[in-house]
């Protein structure tokens, strides 16, 4: 692989998008504030200057219109990258996501192809309160026809966006707001990270922490802490949520016999429940303890920094849960 240099998480979005636009003449970007402003998070900085307003299009604040634009353009031969600024805004466009984008191919008996990449932003931690901080990936993972990826590092951001854009299906790339300034090595060349492949980011033998997105960082911090007490945690970064790499989860469980599933989303009805169910279906006999789950409490994301900190799962809570699980508390 060509030379890597350090990029921020958000810088990797811009670089991946540029790569896609260079590689595919039919690809274009559309969304709110993406062109002139370069994206409110800076995701698309420099793209208008390099590619012009044919390839990157500012839209009105019309999420249903934006997703519809993506569906119609994709069905008729383009490869749209559409941006939904905050994942919370999916409420505005859920019909076009759930009833159109997800199902069109199936309803049409396979005759339609919808190569759409939807880039959106999840997570709290920046005091944006209840309507700009949610982690709603479970909503879209529940819809057959969609794929969902949630990168944790700048490297994964670039690789997953490129893969998403090359995929002939709608793929949601769920980014995380608090990770935007995280830095990491990113190769200049174009590369893919296959959709549906998890990655062991830390090997260990005592417990598996299954997680994704920003919680990978918290899991690593937790593992460092646990190591101090002699607990050797393995961390599996799912990267893809739909399809999910069940095989990788099972393999790790077989190795450690203990699992903690961690996500920032509300615990009840979150992906953790699905992951736990899959583990008990595929690897029940290997489990030495019940599967533990760490997620946000059943409440909207609060505004006050104090409340928000109490709300969002972190390394400490992971440590607590693992310790409890292993019975070493």
Partner 1 sequence: MDLNNETLLDIHLRMVRIRTFETEAGKMAEAGKIPGALHLYVGQEAVAGGIMAHLSNDDWITSTHRGHGHLIAKGGEFGKMFAELYGRATGYCKGKGGSMHISNMQLGMLGANGIVGAGPPIAVGAAFSIKYRNAPNVAVTFFGDGASNEGSFHEAANMAALYKLPVLFVCENNGYGEYTAQANHQAIVDVADRAAGYGMPGVVVDGMDAIAVYEATAAAIERAKEGLGPSLLECKTYRFFDHVGVRGMGLSYRTDDELAEWQKRDPILIFEVRLAELGVLSEAQAKEIHEKVLADVKEGIEFAEASPMPNPDSLLEDVYA
Site for partner 1, rule CB under 8 A: 26, 28, 54, 57, 59-60, 62, 64-65, 67-78, 80, 95-96, 99-100, 104-115, 144-145, 147, 167-169
- Residue 118 CB, nearest distance to partner 1 (Å)? 13
- How is residue 217 written in tokens? 């960082």
CB atoms within 10 A of CB 190: 16
**With the CA atoms of 174, 179, 183 and 187 taken in that order, what torsion angle do they form, in degrees rounded to the nearest 10?**
0
What is d(CA 325, CA 329) in angstroms, rounded to the nearest whole number?
9
Establish whether 258 is a catalytic residue: no
CA-based max dimension of the chain: 60
Q: Which is nearer to partner 1, 66 or 279 (CB)?
A: 66
- Residue 30 CB, nearest distance to partner 1 (Å)? 8
From the list 42, 248, 82, 40, the residue with the least C-alpha distance to 171 is 82
Marked catalytic residue, from 132, 142, 258, 263: 132
- Residue 156 CB, nearest distance to partner 1 (Å)? 22
Q: Which is nearer to partner 1, 128 or 143 (CB)?
A: 143
Q: Which is nearer to partner 1, 171 or 215 (CB)?
A: 171
- Residue 194 CB, nearest distance to partner 1 (Å)? 14
- Residue 33 CB, nearest distance to partner 1 (Å)? 15
Q: Which is nearer to partner 1, 73 or 119 (CB)?
A: 73
Asked if 44 and 35 count as a contact pair (C-beta separation under 8 A), the reply is yes
Q: Which is nearer to partner 1, 111 or 181 (CB)?
A: 111
Q: Which is nearer to partner 1, 70 or 123 (CB)?
A: 70
- Residue 248 CB, nearest distance to partner 1 (Å)? 20
- The residues annotated with a catalytic role in the active site are 132
């Amino acid at each position: 692989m060509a030379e890597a240099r350090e990029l921020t998480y958000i810088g990797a979005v811009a670089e991946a998008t540029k790569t896609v636009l260079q590689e595919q003449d039919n690809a274009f970007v559309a969304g709110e504030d993406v062109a002139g402003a370069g994206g409110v998070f800076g995701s698309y900085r420099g793209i208008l200057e390099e590619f012009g307003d044919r390839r990157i299009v500012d839209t009105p604040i019309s999420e249903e219109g934006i997703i519809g634009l993506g569906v119609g353009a994709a069905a008729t031969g383009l490869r749209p990258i559409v941006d939904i600024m905050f994942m919370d805004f999916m409420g505005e466009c859920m019909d076009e996501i759930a009833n159109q984008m997800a199902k069109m191919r199936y309803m049409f008996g396979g005759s339609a192809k919808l190569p759409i990449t939807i880039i959106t932003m999840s997570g709290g931690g920046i005091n944006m309160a209840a309507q700009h901080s949610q982690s709603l990936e479970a909503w879209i993972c529940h819809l057959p026809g969609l794929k969902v990826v949630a990168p944790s590092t700048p490297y994964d951001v670039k690789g997953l966006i490129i893969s998403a854009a090359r995929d002939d299906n709608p793929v949601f790339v769920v980014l995380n707001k608090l990770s935007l300034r995280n830095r990491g090595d990113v190769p200049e060349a174009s590369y893919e990270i296959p959709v549906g492949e998890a990655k062991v980011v830390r090997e260990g033998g005592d417990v598996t922490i299954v997680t994704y997105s920003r919680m990978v960082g918290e899991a690593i911090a937790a593992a460092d802490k646990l190591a101090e007490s002699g607990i050797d945690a393995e961390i599996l970064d799912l990267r893809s949520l739909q399809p999910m790499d069940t095989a990788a989860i099972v393999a790790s469980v077989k190795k450690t016999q203990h699992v903690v599933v961690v996500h920032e989303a509300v615990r009840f009805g979150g992906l953790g429940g699905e992951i736990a169910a899959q583990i008990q279906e595929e690897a029940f006999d290997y489990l030495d303890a019940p599967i533990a789950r760490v997620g946000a409490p059943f409440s909207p994301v609060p505004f006050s920094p104090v409340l928000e900190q109490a709300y969002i799962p972190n390394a400490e809570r992971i440590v607590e849960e693992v310790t409890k699980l292993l019975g070493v508390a």
